[in-house]
Chain A
Amino acid sequence: MMRICTIAAILLVNAIVQSALLPFLQIVGIQPDTLLILTACFALLGGGNTGMLAGFFGGLLQDVLYGHSIGVNAFQYMVIGYLIGLLYEKVFVDKIFVPMVVVFLGALLRGFMMMLYLYFNRVGMPFYFGFARVIVPEALYTSAFTLLIFRWLSSLYQQRFMSRKWHFRRI
């Protein structure tokens, strides 16, 4: 229960920080996608289900607060959370570059999904343009930002209440 509340609180705070503070940290008009970092970290540290649900609820929150049609972000983050969760306990996350690479690839995937969404909504954006001006800079910046967030989250996961296996240790 404590674990769920903690994750929910982190997602809520993130939604606010992302829209109120991060626009002022823009570089070349691009800001880091911290929700993607959180989704990836939860998937790597807590498994696919945690990542998937964090992506689902985090994305839903974005959709409701800023988006126009509900479900677009939730879908993308959920898929990414699920896919990254497949790596859970298969990759060695103690080296910081592992989550950084995972986040980078996740950001690329989200970029492509967004291009696809825009295409089906008849918002013309040339592919190379979206790729060079948004997707790649965003993936790089987001991946660099992972440095700050992953360390903090992995130390949070050292806490007992965050461990998923606590109920097996009863008496």
Chain B
Amino acid sequence: MPQFFKRKPLAVAIFLAILLIVLAVVTSGQRMRLTALEGAMGEVVTPVQGFMYRIATSVSDFFHSMEERKQMSARYEELKGRVAQLEQQQLKMDETIKENERLRALLDFKEDRDLFTVTGVRVTGKDPGNWFNTLTIGKGSRDGITVNMAVVTDQGLIGRVTDVGSHWSKVRTIVDRQSSVSALIERTRDNGMVKGNNTLTFEDGLCQMINLPLDSDVVAGDRIITSGLDGIFPKGINIGEVVEVSSERREKYKTAIVKPNADFLRIEEVLVVRQVNE
């Protein structure tokens, strides 16, 4: 083989190229488990990668927080006002919840969907290219993670699990071009699809909400949550906020640009959740 390789590099190149194309086609569908070899490679690399990623996030956080400190006192005043406002709202909401409970009991309405946290897990790395937006996380099938589980942070939806090794998994974020999530606008209850669009603007991480009805009165600032219609993401997870609405006359639908709540560059820990259906 080495001799042959030296004499006929083109032949070897063509052979490898065909092999890779076949491999790409074979592995392009959805797979429940990674092959042993793939799994093993991840096992070796993920811990080191996770360590480096942690160092990098803390350095980046340091600079980020320096910037934030400058605006702190103005922010403090603003937040004080906001707390007072929220406390009032909270009171009102407590009332509403109680009322809701009473009415529910009256109707004998069953609470059918509940989030169930499978596990909390550290992010170990980001996809190195500029074309996709995927993450690797440091837990896998041994910890109960399976394909298509939703990944969230306290800020909102991150994405879903696409491949699982025994101690690591890959996550496709909602800003990835190949991602789509059924969503609805919290205020107007319009249904649509949130598609990833990681190159929509210069900044990483904006999505597009498509297929909104033309008569929808969605405006900038509206909150977007998951609708649960796709059967993958549980209903009611926070996705983000509308920043811009566009409706071209020749199109049949409205499109909204959505800014996700989560900061995709500085994610450190995520929760993997699944829906509990009774």
Q: Does B276 belong to the interface (CB within 8 Å)?
A: no
Q: Are B125 and A78 in contact (CB under 8 A)?
A: no
Q: Which residues of the partner chain B approach A74 to less than 8 Å between Cβ atoms?
A: 20
6 A-B pairs with least C-beta separation: A18-B128, A19-B125, A20-B52, A71-B24, A71-B20, A71-B23
Is the contact region of chain A dominated by helix, strand, or loop, or is it mixed? helix
Q: Which of A19, A23, A52, A78 contacts B136 (CB 8 A)?
A: A19
Are B45 and A16 in touch, CB under 8 angstroms?
A: yes
Counting residue pairs across A and B whose Cβ atoms lie within 8 Å, the total is: 146
Within 8 A of A (CB), among B104-156: 124-132, 134, 136
Interface residue count on the A side (C-beta < 8 Å): 51
B131 — nearest CB in chain A belongs to which residue?
Answer: A114
Chain B residues, CB < 8 A from A69: 23-25, 27-28
| Interface flag for B265 (CB, 8 Å) | yes
A-B contact sample (5 more), CB < 8 A, given A66-B129, A125-B199: A29-B198, A29-B203, A29-B204, A70-B38, A75-B17
Q: Does B6 sit at the interface, judged by CB under 8 A? A: yes
The answer to whether B91 has its CB under 8 Å from any CB of chain A is no
Given the known interface contacts A24-B59, A70-B23, the answer about A17 and B199 at a Cβ–Cβ threshold of 8 Å is no
Task: Please determine whether B20 and A65 come into contact, CB atoms closer than 8 angstroms.
Answer: no
> Are the C-beta atoms of A130 and B49 separated by less than 8 Å?
no
Kindly state the separation between the CA atoms of A21 and B9 in the bound complex, as whole angstroms: 35
Interface flag for B170 (CB, 8 Å): yes
| In the assembled complex, B56 has its CB within 8 A of some CB on chain A | yes
B16 interface residue (CB < 8 Å to A) = yes
B49 and A20 within 8 A (CB): yes
Q: Say how far A160's CB is from chain B's closest CB, in angstroms.
A: 21
Q: Does A61 contact B (CB under 8 A)?
A: yes
Cα–Cα, bound, A48→B201 (Å): 38
Interface residue ranges of B15-54 to A (CB < 8 Å): 16-17, 19-25, 27-28, 37-38, 41-42, 45, 48-50, 52-53
Known: A24-B59, A64-B41. A75 touches B24 (CB 8 A): yes
Contact A70 B126, CB 8 Å, known A49-B5, A134-B131:
no
How many chain B residues touch A (CB < 8 A): the figure is 56
A109 at the interface (CB under 8 A from B): no
**Contact indicator B178/A121 (Cβ below 8 Å):** yes
CA of A72 to CA of B20, assembled, Å? 7
What are the interface flags for A67-81 relative to B under an 8 Å C-beta threshold, 1 for contact and 0 otherwise?
Answer: 111111111001100
A144 within 8 A of B: no
State whether A66 touches B204 (Cβ < 8 A): no
A16-B48 contact in complex given A23-B265, A64-B38, A68-B163, C-beta closer than 8 Å: yes
Q: How far is the CA of A164 from the CA of B52 in the complex (A)?
A: 33
Task: For B170, list chain A residues within 8 Å (CB).
Answer: 66, 68
Pick the contact of B177 from A21, A33, A35, A125 — CB < 8 Å? A125
Q: Is A82 an interface residue (CB 8 A)?
A: yes
- CB of B76 within 8 A of chain A? no
Most B Cβ at <10 Å: residue of A33, A52, A68: A68
Complex CA distance for A42 and B178, rounded to whole angstroms = 33
By beta carbon, the residue of chain B nearest A47 is B9
B275 within 8 A of A: no
* CB of A56 within 8 Å of the partner chain: yes
Does A26 interact with chain B (Cβ within 8 Å)?
yes
Q: Is A118 part of the binding interface, using a Cβ–Cβ cutoff of 8 Å?
A: yes
Residue of A nearest to B60 (CB): A24
Measured between beta carbons, the chain B residues less than 8 angstroms from A62 are 128-129
* 16 A-B pairs in the complex with CB atoms less than 8 angstroms apart: A15-B45, A20-B55, A24-B57, A28-B202, A29-B203, A33-B129, A35-B128, A56-B16, A64-B37, A66-B170, A68-B134, A71-B19, A71-B24, A75-B17, A75-B24, A125-B199
